[in-house]
Structure 1
Amino acid sequence: MTADSSLKRRSDRALASLRGLAVGDALGSQFFAPSNYPALKRREPPSGVWRWTDDTEMACSVLSVLAEHGRVDQDALARSFAERHDADRGYGPAVIRLLRLIREGDDWREPAAALFNGHGSWGNGAAMRIAPLGAWYGGEAEQATHQAEISSYVTHQHREAVVGTMAVAAAAALVADPAGSPGPEALLDGVIELVPRSAVQAGLRRARDMLDYGDAATVAAVLGSGRRTSAHDTVPFTLWAAARHLGDYERAFWTTAQVGGDMDTTCAIVGGIVAASAAGAPPQAWQERTEPLPAWFPTEA
């Protein structure tokens, strides 16, 4: 295999994951509107064009930096986040301030480390954007976790946020393995082995033990559904949902969305992981209803 063909394969996998992430993000965000609650109960996509949020915008930056540099360059990633920031995409206040400081010339390291009284953010914002990086490293899950860890520090430096980011990237890398995706239990076992001891890892162990549960609401009550927007309240459930529905994007989406919580982010994570394999692509009709990726993002990463 030539270097060019290898790069093309990486790019194709990552773009497929990104499209799955964008559809999950955009469609999931529709169900924050009370008028769409009945459609959610019926598992019926609402009408109109579905607009994505900061989840997709930041994922595009991750992938564009990865394609340009062949790895995560933290300074380039911080600049891309800051320069591409669209205030109308639902960013949280802490990240908005951080990106403003970067645009004004601050080194990202100091304000990112200073968040939340010096503990760093433990939110799910770094995990929500990382599945395409994992797909880029399909079959190289250890490298995916390493690059994901590096990417997280730009905005989220708390241990739980970092480990959550690593876990999502590892899952996507395992699903995107050219040799074939693992089964549900093997997927979660593989992720658990790749991430450090943490609340996220403990949640993943519980998620693995609940793979035989058919009631997503019960699982979400135990694992969390992103309502607290923390990594450890978000990542274990999303990996459970992805593992339960590998190769079936629609079922993965509805299972995730119907438990509520941080639906744009949980559905973005699940969508990005499931779509990392060719069998898990979102329905074409859903892709056509989703807002196009930003104009600055290259169609070929």
Structure 2
Amino acid sequence: MTADRFERAHASLRGLAVGDALGSQFFVPANYPSLQARALPTGPWQWTDDTEMACSVLAILAVHGRIDQDALAASFATHHDFDRGYGPAVNRMLRLVREGADWRKLAAGLFNGQGSWGNGAAMRIAPLGAWYAGDPEQASHQAEISAYTTHQHREAVAGAMAVAAAAALVADPAGPKEPERLLDEVVALVPRSAVQAGVRRARDMLDFADPVTVAAVLGCGRRTSAHDTVPFALWAAAGHLASYEQAFWATAQAGGDVDTTCAIVGGIVAARVQSAPPATWQERTEKLPDWVPATAR
């Protein structure tokens, strides 16, 4: 069972990393025409903080079999690379944790004591959902625990819970196949919040084919908040579960926080064994770091 869980989570992590790394290429103006033409930029593609933090999530699951908050916060701080695109608040927090400060006080104190409502807790969590395939309740619970290490605002926590629940449902061979049912089940597992309301709107927009139109209603991460990011990402994933490629391009076309929306979508879709990223895309993506386990322990 542990080996199966690990393989599913690792597949999700690879999908997350490809989405993150390729999505990040479209922050470069020279690559905008490639995006419109659905043409791949030249590689290699380097991933960002989305993948680096997701690697810690998988590493902690591989060792503990669940989320250990202290171990997760320590891993985030130990492997923190300033140049990976972290936000200023998290950069400072992880530096202080590395120097011995208490992550609980730091995370709780962000933004005048409200905690961060950014999309960072959601962007890294799809592999955890895949780990708990078939048990979306436990996935959302563990995602809540994981979010608090850096993001303690209700919306950030709800965003992480929604992504993890979606990945757990997608990774389950017996899980919902219809996009509407998938999002209905996610809504039922997320506490009342702007994120939950956004996922409801995403469910109502599944008949819309144009990602730009949908993003105009749901948001696509331009504000880097969980409620401006997660509903659109779940719309894109739910509507394109059969094809990683189609899911990626639908997500990227909307613009916004492209590396993060594509990381979330990539991690959810790749949790479904049949929907791995194309091999050529994986080859162009920067390898995962050496400290990430390659097999279950």
- TM bucket (normalised to shorter chain) is over 0.9
> What's the offset of the Cα at 1:179?
2.2
- Aligned residues: CA RMSD: 0.7
Q: 1:241-293 deviations in whole A, cap 9, x for unaligned?
A: 00000121001000000110000000000000000001211101000000000
Residue 192 (structure 2) pairs with residue 197 (structure 1): yes
Q: 1:166-201 deviations in whole A, cap 9, x for unaligned?
A: 000000000001324531001100100001000000
Contact 1:174 1:182 in 2 (8 A): no
For residues 49 and 180 of structure 1, what CA distance do their matches in structure 2 show? Answer: 35
Give the corresponding residue for 2:21. Answer: 26
Give the corresponding residue for 2:131. Answer: 136
For residues 185 and 125 of structure 1, what CA distance do their matches in structure 2 show? Answer: 26
For residues 89 and 102 of structure 1, what CA distance do their matches in structure 2 show? Answer: 18
Within 5 Å, give how 1:127-276 maps onto structure 2: 127-276=122-271
For residues 183 and 144 of structure 2, what CA distance do their matches in structure 1 show? Answer: 18
Aligned length: 296
Which SS does the other structure have where 2:122 is aligned? coil
Which SS does the other structure have where 2:27 is aligned? coil
- Structure-1-length-normalised TM-score: 0.97
Give the corresponding residue for 1:3. Answer: none
Q: 1:205-261 deviations in whole A, cap 9, x for unaligned?
A: 100000001111110000000000000000000000000001210010000001100
Which SS does the other structure have where 2:207 is aligned? coil
Contact 1:181 1:277 in 2 (8 A): no
The one-letter amino acid paired with 1:8 is: A
Residue 116 (structure 2) pairs with residue 121 (structure 1): yes
The one-letter amino acid paired with 1:294 is: P
Give the corresponding residue for 1:79. Answer: 74
Gaps of 5+ in 2: none
Which SS does the other structure have where 1:192 is aligned? helix
The one-letter amino acid paired with 1:29 is: S
% identical aligned pairs: 75
Q: 2:280 aligns with which of 274, 285, 292?
A: 285
For residues 141 and 206 of structure 2, what CA distance do their matches in structure 1 show? Answer: 27
- Structure-2-length-normalised TM-score: 0.99
Q: 2:5 aligns with which of 5, 10, 28?
A: 10
For residues 246 and 158 of structure 2, what CA distance do their matches in structure 1 show? Answer: 26
Q: 2:37 aligns with which of 42, 46, 51?
A: 42
Contact 1:175 1:273 in 2 (8 A): yes
Give the corresponding residue for 2:101. Answer: 106
Which SS does the other structure have where 1:261 is aligned? coil
Which SS does the other structure have where 2:51 is aligned? helix
> What's the offset of the Cα at 1:298?
1.6
The one-letter amino acid paired with 2:188 is: E
Gaps of 5+ in 1: 1-5
The one-letter amino acid paired with 2:292 is: F
Contact 1:24 1:268 in 2 (8 A): yes
Contact 1:122 1:160 in 2 (8 A): yes
Which SS does the other structure have where 1:163 is aligned? helix
The one-letter amino acid paired with 2:66 is: R
